[in-house]
Structure 1
Amino acid sequence: MPYVKDDDGRLNNFAKEPPVYAAEPMDATQKRNRTLVFALGGALVVGLIAVAAVIS
């Protein structure tokens, strides 16, 4: 386990870091799903703002 000892004799333990990897480009299905989620989320936000405006 990696640790560092400072001048006062205290130990600082560090977490084990996960391996780093490059992200793979999205395929067409993932791009479509992302667009759909953004569109539905945007519609939800606009709808909630409209409801808030009507109520107030």
Structure 2
Amino acid sequence: MYTTVNEDGVLNNYATEPKMYYAEYPAIWEQRRYVIQGLFATLIVTALVLVGISVS
């Protein structure tokens, strides 16, 4: 941890920054999984909206 002291004696602590890295483009099987997750989420949201409309 990096610490500095100003002229009033107040300590300032700075966290160490993690090493940066670039994200990799998802593989074809990961892309398919994202599509399936999106369809499943859309199905759940649509079902909740329809239940909410039918109850009210």
1:7-46 → structure 2 map (5 Å cutoff): 7-46=7-46
Unaligned runs of 5+ residues in structure 2 are none
Q: Which structure 1 residue ranges, 4+ long, deviate > 6 Å from structure 2?
A: none
Structure 1 stretch 38-47 or stretch 6-15: which is displaced more?
A: 6-15
Structure 1 unaligned regions, length at least 5: none
Q: How many pairs does the alignment contain?
A: 56
Instruction: State the one-letter code of the partner of 2:31.
Output: K
Cα displacement (A) at 1:4: 2.3
The CA RMSD measured in Å over matched residues stands at 1.1
Q: Structure 2 length normalisation: TM-score? A: 0.87
Percent identical among aligned pairs is 30
